Amino acid sequence: MFTILDRYIIRKFLTTFFFMLGVIMLLATVFDLAEKLSEFLQNKATLEEVFFDYYINFILFYGNMFSSMIIFVSVIWFTAKMAQDTEIIPILNSGRPFSRFLRPYMIAATILMLGSLFFNHFIIPKANKVRLAFEEKYYWKGMSVQDYYAEFPGEQVVHFSNYLSETNIAEDFIVQQWNEKGDLIYFIKAQQAINKPGTNNWELKNFYERKVSFPKDQIREGAKLDTVFQFNMSEMATRDNVAESMTYFELKDFIKRESKKGNQLVPNYEIELYQRTSYPFATYVLTLIGISVSSRKKRGGIGINIAIGLGFVFIYIFAMKVTTVAAMNVGFPTILAVWVPNILFGGVGYLLYRNAQR
């Protein structure tokens, strides 16, 4: 049963959050439009596409991504305002423990956390698919892949030195087939390889093919060969943010496939998957810290509380960056890289909370 105090704090929490979210996303949209407007005009993107395909999904993606940070600043803002207006002292002097004052904050944080969790895994990826398709068509200049190597299921190894999306040509293309004993049974190399979009059909130019057989290998070479492989270029030439457009189950399957191929970007994809859960749960940690540092009236006013809060935000972001870089470059477990900042700051939040109770 919610009391008047519960409803008051929950209302303040949610209205402050959505107000700050709206202001920040409005500013982000203005700055992004100023940066990309010339490309949109040059590539003749329609107003409808810019608004509905790009900026609606842009706001959903970045608003949800930074929601826990915005929640933190919102909590500090309205709690410090309550402290300055001497609203908190009567609440605590009425005999209610500090934990009772904390309850409506955690209720509001839970509402926002569950919404963010659902959006992260299922809604935002679908929105990103539309946004990224728009960027591919109207903003990105093209894509190149250098020195690609992968092991596909069935003991098949693929390598090429360079690929440009503008020409759709892979240079120095090599496919090797091995048997279960580790012996090479097939090899083909082409100076250039072109994949027909949307299919597994390939056109090889200046090729050399070798089939290992007894008593003599079968070898042929020529200027052109039309053939079929079990893969296509869309599986190999992907942007780093391709995981952003996949729902939870799609991303799980994608990580399994890329792990079998030995893709070096697998840690990036795993971090994307785990962050979709860890970021929403950071709402609890940052809410606890926000209340603890702003629930007392300070001589410097609200500005001091906001400055302290922004300091925590910068340290949190720095810690997250350090752990994710460690996961991508030195083999630090990705799930720990994502959750360690929450665990560390959870401990800090608990200490601040204990101090605020006194």
Q: Confidence band (pLDDT; 50, 70, 90) for 301?
A: low
Residue 303 pLDDT greater than 80, yes or no: no
* Separation of CA 280 from chain center: 12
Higher pLDDT, 151 or 111: 111
| Contacts of 311 by beta carbon, 8 Å cutoff, 6+ apart | none
116 and 283 in contact (C-beta within 8 Å)? yes
Give the predicted TM-score (pTM) of the model: 0.82
Of all residues in the chain, what percent carry a pLDDT higher than 70?
A: 97
Q: Which whole number is the average pLDDT over 90-116?
A: 88
For the chain, how many residues are written? 358
Residue 163 pLDDT greater than 90, yes or no: yes
Of all residues in the chain, what percent carry a pLDDT higher than 90?
A: 53
Q: Could you give the residue ranges of the DSSP H alpha helices within the chain? A: 4-42, 47-48, 56-65, 67-84, 88-93, 98-118, 124-138, 233-236, 248-260, 266-294, 302-329, 334-357
Mean of the per-residue pLDDT values of the chain: 89
Residue given tokens 């903003």 in the structure block = 139
| Contacts of 167 by beta carbon, 8 Å cutoff, 6+ apart | none
How far apart are the C-alpha atoms of 245 and 124, rounded to whole Å? 8
Residue given tokens 């698919």 in the structure block = 129
> What pLDDT score does 298 carry?
67
> What pLDDT score does 149 carry?
87
- The predicted-structure confidence for 47-83, as pLDDT tens digits, reads as follows 999 999 999 999 999 999 889 889 998 998 899 888 8
How far apart are the C-alpha atoms of 298 and 287, rounded to whole Å? 19
Q: Confidence band (pLDDT; 50, 70, 90) for 321?
A: confident
How far apart are the C-alpha atoms of 150 and 148, rounded to whole Å? 7
- The predicted-structure confidence for 329-347, as pLDDT tens digits, reads as follows 878 899 999 999 999 999 9
| Contacts of 28 by beta carbon, 8 Å cutoff, 6+ apart | 58, 59, 62
Q: Confidence band (pLDDT; 50, 70, 90) for 299?
A: low
> What pLDDT score does 357 carry?
67
First to last CA, the chain: 27
How far apart are the C-alpha atoms of 185 and 177, rounded to whole Å? 6
> What pLDDT score does 1 carry?
66
DSSP-derived pairing of the beta strands 156-164 and 169-178: antiparallel
- The predicted-structure confidence for 183-239, as pLDDT tens digits, reads as follows 899 999 999 999 998 899 999 999 999 998 878 888 999 999 999 998 899 888 887
157 and 175 in contact (C-beta within 8 Å)? yes
Across the beta sheet with 156-164, what order do the strands follow?
144-152, 156-164, 169-178, 184-195, 201-211, 218-228
Residue given tokens 């410090």 in the structure block = 80
> What pLDDT score does 300 carry?
61
- The predicted-structure confidence for 247-290, as pLDDT tens digits, reads as follows 999 999 999 988 887 778 889 999 999 999 999 999 999 999 98
